[in-house]
A and B are shown apart, each in its own frame.
Chain A
Amino acid sequence: MSLRIIVLAKQVPDTRNVGKDAMKADGTVNRAALPAIFNPEDLNALEQALRLKDKYPGSTITLLTMGPSRAADVIREGLFRGADNGYLLTDRAFAGADTLATSYALSKAIEKIGDFDLIVCGRQAIDGDTDQVGPQVAEKLNIPQVTYAEDILGAANGLIKIKRRLERGVEVVEGAMPLVVTVNGSAPACRPRNARLIQKYKHAKTVTERQADDTDYTELFSARPYLNLPEWSVADVSADVVQCGLSGSPTKVKKIENVVFQAKEHRSVEPTDDDINGLMKELIENHTIG
Chain B
Amino acid sequence: MIMKMNNLFVYCEIEDGIVADVSLELLTKGKSLAQQLGCKLEAIAIGSHLSGVEKQVFPYGVDKIHIFDDERLATYTSLPHTTILVKLFQKEAPQIALMGATCIGRDLGPRVSSALGSGLTADCTSLEIGDHEEKKENKIYKDLLYQIRPAFGGNIVATIINPECRPQMATVREGVMKKEVFSDQHIGEVVCHNVSEYVTEEDFAITVLDRHIEKSKCNIKGAQIVVAGGYGVGSKENFGLLQELAATIGGEVGASRAAVDAGFAEHERQIGQTGVTVRPKLYIACGISGQIQHIAGMQESSIIISVNNDPMAPINTIADYVITGTVEEVIPKMIKYYKKNSK
Alpha-carbon distance A204/B166, docked complex (angstroms): 44
Q: Which A270-284 residues have C-beta < 8 A from chain B?
A: 270-271, 273, 275-277, 279-281, 283-284
Given A169-B213, A257-B156, A271-B333, 17 further pairs, Cβ under 8 A:
A99-B120, A127-B153, A133-B110, A135-B114, A139-B82, A144-B205, A146-B206, A168-B214, A168-B216, A253-B160, A255-B159, A261-B299, A266-B306, A269-B323, A271-B323, A277-B337, A280-B337
Whether, in the assembled complex, A174 has its beta carbon less than 8 Å from a beta carbon of chain B, the answer is: yes
The interface-forming segment of A21-29, A68-76, A86-94, A223-231 is: A21-29
Check A1 for interface membership: any CB of B closer than 8 A. Answer: no
Q: Which of B77, B155, B250 is the one whose CB lies under 8 Å from A18? A: B155
Task: Tell me if A251 and B319 are in contact (CB < 8 A).
Answer: no
Q: Could you tell me the distance between the alpha carbons of A277 and B323 in the complex, rounded to whole angstroms?
A: 12
B292 touches A259 (CB 8 A): yes
Q: What's the minimum C-beta distance from B99 to chain A, rounded to whole angstroms? A: 13
Is A264's CB under 8 angstroms from B317's CB? Answer: yes
Q: Is A206 an interface position by the 8 A CB rule?
A: no
Task: Specify which chain B residues have a CB less than 8 angstroms from the CB of A263 in the assembled complex.
Answer: 317-318
Residues of B within 8 A of A (CB): 77-79, 82, 102-103, 106-111, 113-115, 117-123, 132, 146-147, 150-165, 205-216, 225, 249-250, 274, 281-282, 292, 295-296, 299, 302-303, 305-306, 316-326, 329-330, 333-334, 337-338, 341-343
Is A145 on the interface with B (CB-CB < 8 A)? Answer: yes
A155-194, CB < 8 A from B: 161, 164, 166-176, 179
> By the criterion CB–CB under 8 Å, are B160 and A254 in contact?
yes
Residues of B within 8 Å of A145, CB to CB, are: 78, 107, 111
A16 and B292 alpha carbons, distance in the complex (Å): 12
B126 vs chain A, min Cβ distance (A): 12
- 18 A-B pairs in the complex with CB atoms less than 8 angstroms apart: A23-B156, A29-B155, A99-B120, A100-B114, A129-B122, A131-B106, A131-B110, A139-B115, A171-B211, A172-B211, A250-B165, A256-B158, A259-B156, A266-B317, A280-B334, A288-B281, A288-B303, A289-B225
Most A CB atoms within 10 A — which of B209, B214, B292, B322? B209
- Does A128 sit within 8 A of B, measured CB to CB? yes
Establish whether residues B122 and A175, one from each chain, have CB atoms under 8 Å apart when the complex forms.
Answer: no
Contacts of B158 in A (CB 8 A): 253, 255-257
Chain A interface main SS type: mixed
Across the two chains, which residue of chain A brings its CB closest to B160? A251
Cα A114 to Cα B108 with chains together (Å): 26
Q: Which chain A positions have C-beta within 8 A of B82? A: 139
A218 within 8 A of B: no
The CA-CA distance from A139 to B111 in the complex, in Å, is 6
Contacts of A233 in B (CB 8 A): none
Instruction: Please tell me if the beta carbons of B209 and A266 are within 8 angstroms of each other in the complex.
Output: no
B161 & A262 in contact (Cβ 8 Å cutoff): no
Whether the pair A271, B329 counts as a contact (CB closer than 8 A) is yes
Alpha-carbon distance A29/B113, docked complex (angstroms): 27
Cα–Cα, bound, A177→B342 (Å): 63
Closest Cβ–Cβ distance, residue A37 to chain B (whole Å) = 13
A59 within 8 Å of B by Cβ? no
Q: What's the minimum C-beta distance from A145 to chain B, rounded to whole angstroms? A: 6
Which A residues are in CB contact (< 8 Å) with B225? 288-289
- A62 CB-CB contact with B under 8 Å: no
Q: Does B205 lie within 8 Å of A251, measured CB to CB?
A: no
For B250, list chain A residues within 8 Å (CB): 289
Chain B residues with Cβ below 8 Å from A283 are 282, 303
Residue in B closest to A274 when the chains form the complex, CB atoms: B333
Contact mask for chain A residues 46-82; partner B; CB cutoff 8 A; 1 contact, 0 none: 0000000000000000000000000000000000000
Task: Name the one of B119, B122, B157, B338 contacting A249, with C-beta atoms under 8 angstroms.
Answer: B119
Docked pose: A71 CA to B149 CA in angstroms: 27
Question: B45: shortest Cβ distance to chain A, in Å?
Answer: 20
